[in-house]
């Protein structure tokens, strides 16, 4: 496994691979890797010749300084996991290597940036677009693999690729979950024992909402039930629970299965903010 920290070095290496006809797969991450990340590497290994993983805690996408500071960092463990998974190339740059000067670009994603995560985390998707566009420019992948755990992020990245007219296929991959249903996340390790136990309520309410839909409940009744359940547990603070059109993220008031409804949730468990979603 080759590990690069300098932009010009990984560019030279990948240019050489590309000139030999190798297809490049790319998995951007912020490290503190888990099986969810490794599943993306596995897709990249299956579908391309060279798998590149970046590990970079991108400061411009954190709107909460405390969240950035407490974000887990464990590069050595990450490298061991990536080597074990068969990843061929890792890019592990310092912040100055990616942002030698402040990135003043402003992206515009319309509704995608105004709802859900976009509304609650101002500037978040702009930061994501900044870093991903820089990484795409460095790696120039044929395919890039993203987890549908970050449902809205995948939509933003697809829109970014469309706006910048990049010839990169964005592959959306399934959510990996712990045995009790909690979506894997680097932030899960920040939960206390009690919070970690309580966190299973997130996939539980998503599953319940699906059952209620099957039984004919309205969107309004489902939303109210989810809010009531979470309000009862003092460890929780619900940020949002929305049922949206799966292709536009417009909030739905009435069912329309042609719109591929998806339930999206964000809530604080203690101080830690977790997100999850379920495509009905």
Q: Give catalytic residues, as residue numbers.
A: 37
Any contact of residue 126 with ligand AMP (CB under 6 A)? no
Our CB check for ligand AMP shows the closer of 176 and 238 to be 176
> Can you say whether the dihedral through the CA atoms of 54, 6, 99, 134 is positive or negative?
negative
Phi/psi at 199 (nearest 5 deg)? -65, -20
Q: How many residues bind ligand AMP (CB under 6 A)?
A: 17
Task: Out of 56, 146, 236, 241, name the contact with ligand AMP by CB under 6 A.
Answer: 146
Strand ranges (E), 37-191:
50-55, 89-91, 143-147, 169-173
Our CB check for ligand AMP shows the closer of 184 and 272 to be 184
Choices 79-87, 183-191, 235-243, 258-266 (CB under 6 A): range interacting with ligand AMP: 183-191
Task: Out of 78, 113, 142, 150, name the contact with ligand AMP by CB under 6 A.
Answer: 150
Task: Out of 131, 171, 183, 265, name the contact with ligand AMP by CB under 6 A.
Answer: 183
Q: Is 31 left (phi over 0), alpha (psi -120 to 50) or beta?
A: left
Choices 101-109, 175-183, 216-224, 266-274 (CB under 6 A): range interacting with ligand AMP: 175-183
Our CB check for ligand AMP shows the closer of 92 and 176 to be 176
Angle between helices 124-139 and 151-163 (to 10 degrees): 60
- Round to whole Å and give the CA distance between 120 and 273: 11
**Residue 202 contacts residue 274 (beta carbons within 8 Å):** yes
* Footprint on this chain of ligand AMP (rule: CB under 6 A): 29-30, 36-37, 39-40, 146-147, 149-150, 173, 175-176, 183-186
């Amino acid at each position: 496994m080759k590990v690069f920290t300098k932009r010009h070095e990984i560019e030279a290496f990948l240019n050489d691979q590309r000139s030999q006809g190798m297809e490049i797969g790319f998995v951007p991450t912020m490290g503190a890797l888990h099986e969810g990340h490794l599943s993306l590497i596995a897709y990249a290994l299956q579908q391309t010749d060279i798998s590149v993983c970046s590990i970079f805690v991108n400061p411009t996408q954190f709107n909460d300084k405390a969240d950035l500071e407490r974000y887990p960092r464990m590069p050595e463990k990450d490298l061991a996991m990536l080597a074990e998974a068969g990843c061929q190339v890792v890019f592990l740059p310092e912040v100055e290597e990616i942002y030698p000067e402040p990135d003043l670009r402003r992206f515009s994603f319309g509704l995608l940036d105004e709802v859900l995560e976009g509304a609650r985390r101002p500037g978040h998707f702009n930061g994501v677009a900044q870093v991903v566009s820089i990484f795409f420019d460095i790696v120039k992948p044929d395919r890039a693999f993203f987890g549908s755990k970050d449902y809205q992020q995948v939509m933003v990245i697809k829109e970014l690729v469309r706006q910048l007219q990049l010839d990169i296929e964005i592959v959306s991959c399934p959510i990996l979950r712990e045995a009790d249903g909690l979506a894997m996340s680097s932030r899960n390790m920040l939960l206390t024992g009690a919070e970690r136990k309580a966190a299973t309520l997130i996939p539980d309410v998503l599953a319940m909402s699906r059952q209620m839909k099957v039984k004919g409940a309205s969107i309004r009744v489902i939303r109210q039930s989810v809010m009531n359940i979470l309000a009862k547990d003092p460890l929780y603070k619900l940020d949002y629970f929305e049922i949206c059109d799966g292709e536009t993220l417009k909030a739905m008031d009435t069912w329309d299965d042609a719109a591929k409804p998806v339930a999206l949730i964000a809530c604080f468990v203690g101080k830690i903010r977790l997100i999850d979603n379920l495509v009905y």
